Structure 1
């Protein structure tokens, strides 16, 4: 009997995600660090932090888990002493990436809808504090992951793999912790981004109607045009997040709320939906670079400059070698 189609899709897709996502996020972080994209310093800090967090998601979820541990199950990383740390790092990096998107969305919501608060909140200092605080919170709230697993099997006096302890399914504290993890990574951020974007859209529509009424119908309103351009990045980033996380969020609601957990049968619709949700969820870590390229002309120019410098750096030694030959 052949392998399930979803597993074949994973085998093809994950290497492509790693090959594209790692260099793309490294390049994005480097460009944002230079600060020459015409964005405010606060937004630039968020963009750089999001690129780094997305890079970590790809490293721990794709490179280490999907492309190394799954293909080399007897490696050092599959030891029972290391396995809980791998799971901890995967959930921390994913949670951090998600909440950076939420914090960026909230920052843009304040900038557009809360004029009095904007001057105090939408600053480089606030962005730095939020970024560091979210990192610390993500690391702290998942510490119990180090204590909830036991060895999966034993071979040659070595313990391999890990699985949740029996108490995880019976203890009320572990059940509460499990729900907290699921809600923190999936449901709560998804809902907050939807609400913040809805409030932002309502504010923009109301403000545009007032300005059109005051200025009349003739001619273009430069203020409205500038506001429209300023929110393109917000809606592109948060909209892509909503699109790519919808499947994962729906699977969470259908499985956790109805207490019908996903099994290991990859021909089962719930398992297929879960795998597709995870794939799209990780794909969102590669999407922001494409978004910046499509919406930010200065970012595209910086990418071109970086590629020119790289080409010149590589071609110069080759030309010298050919001349000597």
Structure 2
């Protein structure tokens, strides 16, 4: 039914398969641990972040966790190591593909929502008291998630069985009409524009506007402080803005860089009109798989960003590790 890569010696497999067999398990372990840790620490509300920001970051971590579980663990690792499980029954496979698109879209649009919230907070003083609240964040999250799930329902109907075994349909092949019918082609373009083209453009635009506002406000503030002969004093407001912009740029910049290769590969496929790969050594396949590896890496890096940019997050992380070490030591001692 499928090529079972584990039946062959590792050194005889194509490099892209060898990379996947090593890379995806590492991403699964790191992604699950990193996002669970982020959810636990941020949910405690002791990182010095506003409740609004914490709500967005927890939602983003939860979405990234779902991407790691659904895409990396249940699809890519399953495809390599367990290619004949029930997940490859056509109905299950089609549902899984649609769900995979949905959680990926949710992860992308929550990043955009967070960027827009920070833009309002920093640049729009008249609107921030109304929209930059925990209640608004909850409403945005509760709206984005079901809408994007609904938007990806058509993907369930885009696949057909590869083979039938004992009257059970197995595998997921993209239907031929999805490649040639204008309706499906338009849907595919809309899907790619909604995620990631439009979010990438909006995130870049919002970041540019935010930077311009901060530079102008900082210049004015320094001039005012200089006229009062207080230039040697620490400016808490400027320090707060600096921390906010570091966190914002680290998250959104990381998203754009790791998604860029994926979008370039999609554009190249549309320009060249290639629909199939010639084999596992096809350069186009290698580029496509590499773009997915980078895309999935973005679901594991936010915890590192929090740890690098937020001192209180680092403190909570260290406290948690010390607590786990104490518990493990206690269990070991009691065991003996």
Please state which band the TM-score falls in when normalised by the shorter chain. over 0.9
Query: Which of 273, 277, 291 in structure 2 is aligned with 1:263?
Result: 277
CA distance in 2, matches of 1:79, 1:146: 13
Select the residue among 50, 53, 73 that pairs with 2:60: 50
Structure 1 residue 266: deviation in Å? 3.5
Match of 2:242 among 210, 224, 228: 228
Are 2:93 and 2:171, in contact at CA under 8 Å, matched by a contact in 1? yes
Match of 2:332 in 1: 318
Cα distance in 2 for partners of 1:148, 1:207 equals 51
1:219 equivalent in alignment to 2:219: no
Whether 1:17 and 2:27 are equivalent positions in the alignment is yes
Whole-angstrom distance in 1 between the partners of 2:308 and 2:86: 41
C-alpha spacing 1:232/1:262, structure 2 compared with 1 (3 Å): farther
Partner of residue 141 from structure 2, selected from 120, 126, 131: 131
Paired with 1:262 and 1:204, the residues of 2 have a C-alpha distance of: 48
Q: Counterpart of 1:5? A: 15
Q: CA deviation at 1:3?
A: 3.1
Residue segments in structure 1 that go unaligned for 5+ positions in a row:
none
1:98–1:189 contact (8 Å) kept in structure 2: yes
Equivalent position of 1:28 in the other structure: 38
Aligned to 1:95: 105
CA distance in 2, matches of 1:102, 1:259: 30
- Rounded to whole Å, the distance in 2 between the matches of 1:279 and 1:4 is 16
Alpha-carbon separation, structure 2, partners of 1:205 and 1:261: 47
Q: Give the C-alpha shift of residue 49 in structure 1.
A: 0.6
Deviation of 1:315 after TM superposition, in Å, equals 2.3
- For normalisation by structure 2, the TM-score amounts to 0.91
Alignment match, 1:291:
305
Change (3 A) 1:134 1:313: same
**Which residue of 1 is the match for residue 264 of structure 2?**
250
| Cα offsets for 1:2-22 (capped at 9, x unmatched) | 433222222211111111111
Aligned residues between the structures: 322
Stretch of structure 1 that moved more, 25-34 or 158-167: 158-167
Local SS of the residue matching 1:128: helix
> How much is the aligned-residue C-alpha RMSD, in angstroms?
1.7
In 2, the alpha carbon distance for the partners of 1:215 and 1:268 equals: 61
Q: TM-score, normalised by structure 1?
A: 0.94
Aligned position for 2:171: 161
Moved more, 38-47 or 229-238: 229-238
- Provide structure 2 residue ranges, at least 5 long, that are not aligned to the other structure: 1-10
Q: CA deviation at 1:302?
A: 1.0
